[in-house]
Amino acid sequence: MSRPARWWLLSDLHLGVSDDDPRCPGKVLPDFLRREVLAASGLQQHVVFVGDTFELAGVNEDESLARLESILVRHLETFRALEECAARGVHLHFVCGNHDVELARPSVAARLSALLSPAEPTRVRVHPWFLHVPHVLVAEHGHQHHALHRIPEVLRAAVNGTDELDLPPLAAWHAHPSRSRLGRAGAVARSCLASELAERRIREPAYDELLQGESLRLALDGVTVRDLARLSRFRTVSALPVAATRIVLSAAGRRVTGEKAPAAAGRFARTLEAHGSGVAWYVSGHTHRALESALEACPTRYVNTGTWCSDVRGRGPDQSDRRAFPYAVVDVARDGTTSGGLRYWRPDGG
């Protein structure tokens, strides 16, 4: 028997150095933490930010560190609420997304821990790839299964903080708005080549060593972790048409729609199940569409935590009511059984 635990999971706050988002996630989050998380008692408490918590656009280590500190200063109430959570024993987890993959750098992760929990830095943990709670849940941002945002060698940054993080194709296009179309196309081509080469390297023995080390942290065996790392793969021939379609739709003010669990979520959950490490819940973000559903041929329940920023893309209540903020909760009883699912929180208590 273990002590009952509660996990709160939310994603895609996109907190930046400005505070101009109409939904004001940086102003709403402190109330959520104090009124929901800190109000609970008698539980092991965990808050998981499932990626894209911050807008870290730094291209090197120093810029990433400076930007992180600037964001926390800009969102001072959020910073103080997170500090209060850590001081009162709440464990804070930050899963890296494609907008804050810089957190994977050891120096940036250490700085975040020192800022939020100077007395007990271990209460703040960064997960470069995904969070795994044995037989309970896995949480990953989801971009690693999306060719336009996939960064195959993300674990290298977690081991060697000086490594540059290659931009994925679509990010390479948007990262150079002042360039000519030809220049931006060249940036995409170079990024595609880098991604193809990275996909080859993660299948080499040197990367297997990194995966073996990660397996210890994740409490999964090495074969399982290796299979999970190779579930998805970047391929230029399929990525470029998707990128082109998204760019055209974006220019027309439209988006690709989808209201079901992604196939990659099912592959991930079934891989864990096949290795005897099945979990009750698979949680992700990235799509900005809050959703809960079953997974095909798998007992694992899927939850997407949507977004707290104004770029809502789903059909849930947060689309019509911009004061409804999605999150997931997973309760773990003493006997290991779980309950929970997708929830919506309103600042007015509705």
How far is residue 17's CA from residue 71's CA, in Å, rounded to a whole number? 5
87 burial via Cβ count (<10 Å: 0-12, 13-18, 19+): middle
Tell me, what DSSP letter sits at residue 15? Answer: B
Residue 243 scores a pLDDT above 80: no
Banded pLDDT at 162 (limits 50, 70, 90): very low
Per the structure block, which two tokens stand in for 258? Answer: 């989808």
Mean pLDDT over each residue of the chain, to the nearest integer? 88
pLDDT at 306: 97
pLDDT at 59: 64
How many of the other CB atoms lie within 10 Å of CB of 143?
26
In DSSP notation, 57-98 reads --SSHHHHHHHHHHHHHHTHHHHHHHHHHHHTT-EEEEE--S
Q: Are 319 and 331 in contact (CB under 8 A)?
A: no
Q: Which residue has the higher pLDDT, 171 or 85?
A: 85
Quickly name the fold that domain 5-161+259-345 has: Purple Acid Phosphatase; chain A, domain 2 (3.60.21)
How far is residue 70's CA from residue 17's CA, in Å, rounded to a whole number? 6
Which helix (H) or strand (E) segment is 305 a member of? Answer: strand 298-305
Distances (CA, A) of 139 to 68, 143, 148, 254: 22, 12, 20, 29
Residues near 14 by beta carbon (within 8 Å), at least 6 away in sequence = 21, 25, 52, 53, 54, 55, 99, 307, 309, 311
The per-residue pLDDT for range 271-310, each reduced to its tens digit, is: 999 999 999 999 999 999 999 999 999 999 999 999 999 9
The per-residue pLDDT for range 5-31, each reduced to its tens digit, is: 999 999 999 999 988 899 999 999 999
Banded pLDDT at 161 (limits 50, 70, 90): low
How far is residue 17's CA from residue 114's CA, in Å, rounded to a whole number? 20
Q: Is 89 left (phi over 0), alpha (psi -120 to 50) or beta?
A: left
pLDDT at 152: 86
Distances (CA, A) of 265 to 13, 138, 173, 234: 21, 10, 27, 17
Residues in the chain: 350
Q: Which residues of 4-13 are buried (b: 16+ CB within 10 A; e: fewer)?
A: ebbbbbbbbb
As a whole number, mean pLDDT of residues 97-104 equals 91
